[in-house]
Amino acid sequence: HNYQDILVDEPQSGVLTIRLNRPEAYNALRTQLLKELAEVLDQAADDSNINAVIITGSDTVFAAGADIKEMASLDAVGVMNDPRPTYWRRIALFPKPIVAAVNGFALGGGCELMMHCDIVIAGDNALFGQPEINLGIIPGAGGTQRLIRTIGKSMAMQMVLSGEFISAHQALSFGLVSEVTIPESSLQRATELARKIATKPPIAVRLAKEALLKAYETTLDSGLNLERKSFTLLAATQDRNEGISAFMEKRQPNFTGK
């Protein structure tokens, strides 16, 4: 495939790595980039050779947000007819795990894209922010909702209202990222994790992701209900038999996704 705004490696060990690649614009998320991201994820969803995805940028920039130059040309009707929300929706609905390796700026839509990922490994040079307020707008790809659910009220308010950035170590302390590495190691650590996840039984991984994400938007009771139903469904999979047999027989399991 020939993409303009992203680089997509051949899947390796069940992992597809996607690099945002508009260095001249700090990986600003223009429509073309989001479209390509949605397309590649749609294909990855249907590809049984891909069990996990990594999204990364460069050593110094993850993404500096929506493309401000593109945004400048849109009036209210243009914003209303903008196809980008449908691309964001497709990214949000991607059923397999996404690990982000984030170095440098993750701002505005870049921070929001990172929050669409399931696990975030940050280089210690990472900077996170929702600076939309400086442009007279607010986050538009879930930033107000996902940020407050992830890092809590006071810091979410602080970031969105003041536009102030936070560091990788602050992000770690608030649970926005799960590990901080030196910048040269974030992609390697993300790859290690994604490859490990890719060896796990895919149906169980998928149902686990779905159940975990449900916690953002439902009551405890209905979340527990979904968990129990998924738990029950997994009893009908061959991979559950394989996992339990392998444990009993003191050998490594061989999962097939069935």
Residues that bind ligand HXC (CB under 6 A): 25-26, 28, 64-69, 105, 107-109, 131-132, 135, 139-141
C-alpha 8/C-alpha 173 separation (Å) is: 32
Whether 66 is catalytic is: yes
What is 129-198 written as a DSSP string?
E-GGGGGT----SSHHHHHHHHH-HHHHHHHHHH---EEHHHHHHHTS-SEEE-GGGHHHHHHHHHHHHH
- Residue whose CB is less far from ligand HXC, 36 or 67: 67
Catalytic residue among 28, 64, 66, 126: 66
CB of 192 to ligand HXC, least distance (A): 29
Per the CB < 8 A criterion, the answer to whether 137 and 68 are in contact is: no
CB of 203 to ligand HXC, least distance (A): 32
Task: Give the C-alpha separation, 48 to 46, whole Å.
Answer: 6
Q: Which is nearer to ligand HXC, 103 or 237 (CB)?
A: 103
Please report how close the Cβ of residue 94 comes to ligand HXC at its closest, in angstroms.
17
Least separation, in Å, of the C-beta of 75 and ligand HXC?
A: 16
Angle CA 207–145–110, to nearest 5: 85
70 in catalytic set: no
With H, G, I as helix, E, B as strand and everything else as coil, classify residue 68. helix
**Active-site choice (52, 132, 198, 243):** 132
By beta carbon distance, the residue nearest ligand HXC is 108
164 is catalytic: no
**Among 109, 123, 129, 243, which one carries the catalytic annotation?**
109
Whether residue 204 lies in the annotated active site: no
Determine the Cα–Cα distance for residues 110 and 28; give it in Å rounded to an integer.
8
- Of 23 and 175, CB closest to ligand HXC: 23
Give catalytic residues, as residue numbers: 66, 109, 112, 132
